[in-house]
C-alpha cells in the first residue's frame, strides 16, 4: 500500500522518533508497515524513507539504491560520489558513528521537501549499529553515497532535515539545479 509522505512543516518531522521494542518490530503491524514503506519509497521514487516521513514517530527506515537509478548517471558521476547499488534493507533504532574526519559535499534532496536541493556536507564513512526487520542486531559500515543515505535517514529519526545541515547559499529549486548546476558539466 502506498502511504502519504508528509511534507516539511508537519510536526512529526521535527520530533525525535521513539525506539521500537523487539516485540513491536516482529509484530504483524510493523511487518506490514515495512512493506508499505518499501512500496512508498519505490513509488516516490527515492533511495530511503524514514517512518517520520509517513507521519509515524518510530525509529525505523527502509533503504535501497536500485540499479535503474545508477544506470541513469554517467560513470564519472558514480565514481565521484562513490555510489553503488544498495540492496533493500531495514534499519531500526540505529546508532550512527562517523568513521574518520573525512567529509564529502554533494547536492541532496528529500521526499519531504520535494522540488528543492542543496549542498550538504556529510561524513564520507559511517558505522551504523541497528536492528533489522527480524529484530536481529546488524552492523553496517558504509562509504560514499550509501553513507550519505544512512545519515540522511537517521537524521529524520532525530527530527533533523537536510536543510538544517545544508550550505544555505546552495539551496535551489530542482529546476534551477538542473538548469545551472547540471548544465555546467557539459
Distance CA 157, CA 53 (A): 9
pTM (global) more than 0.85? yes
HSE-up of residue 32 (Cα within 13 Å, Cβ side): 5
Task: Output the pLDDT for position 181.
Answer: 78
Catalytic status, residue 153: yes
Chain segment 156-176, per-residue pLDDT in tens? 999 999 999 999 999 999 999
Q: Among residues 76, 153, 175, 182, which one is catalytic?
A: 153
Task: Output the pLDDT for position 79.
Answer: 95
128 near 150, Cβ under 8 Å? yes
Please give the C-alpha separations between residue 181 and each of 73, 140, 169, in angstroms, as whole numbers. Answer: 15, 32, 13
Instruction: List the chain domain ranges.
Output: 11-185
Please give the C-alpha separations between residue 42 and each of 81, 149, 159, 169, in angstroms, as whole numbers. Answer: 21, 15, 23, 30
Mean pLDDT by 10 residues, the chain (186 residues): 97 98 98 98 98 98 96 93 97 98 97 97 98 98 98 98 97 93 60
Task: Output the pLDDT for position 186.
Answer: 44
HSE-up of residue 156 (Cα within 13 Å, Cβ side): 33
With a pLDDT cut of 90, the percent of the chain lying above it is 95
Task: Output the pLDDT for position 74.
Answer: 92
Span 11-185 CATH architecture? Alpha-Beta Complex (3.90)
Amino acid at each position: 500500500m502506498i502511504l502519504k509522505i508528509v511534507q516539511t512543516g508537519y510536526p512529526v518531522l521535527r520530533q525525535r522518533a521513539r525506539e521500537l521494542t523487539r516485540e513491536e518490530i516482529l509484530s504483524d503491524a510493523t511487518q506490514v508497515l515495512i512493506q508499505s514503506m518499501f512500496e512508498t519509497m519505490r513509488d516516490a521514487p527515492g533511495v530511503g524513507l524514514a517512518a517520520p516521513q509517513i507521519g509515524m514517530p518510530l525509529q525505523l527506515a527502509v533503504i535501497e539504491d536500485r540499479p535503474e537509478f545508477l544506470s541513469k548517471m554517467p560513470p564519472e558521476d558514480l565514481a565521484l560520489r562513490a555510489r553503488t547499488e544498495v540492496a533493500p534493507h531495514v534499519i531500526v533504532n540505529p546508532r550512527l558513528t562517523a568513521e574518520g574526519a573525512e567529509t564529502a559535499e554533494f547536492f541532496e534532496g528529500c521526499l519531504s521537501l520535494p522540488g528543492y536541493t542543496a549542498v550538504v556536507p556529510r561524513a564520507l564513512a559511517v558505522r551504523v549499529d541497528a536492528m533489522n526487520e527480524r529484530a536481529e542486531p546488524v552492523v553496517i559500515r558504509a562509504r560514499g553515497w550509501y553513507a550519505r543515505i544512512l545519515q540522511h535517514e537517521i537524521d529524520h529519526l532525530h527530527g533533523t532535515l537536510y536543510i538544517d545541515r545544508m550550505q544555505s547559499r546552495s539551496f535551489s529549486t530542482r529546476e534551477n539545479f538542473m538548469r545551472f548546476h547540471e548544465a555546467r558539466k557539459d
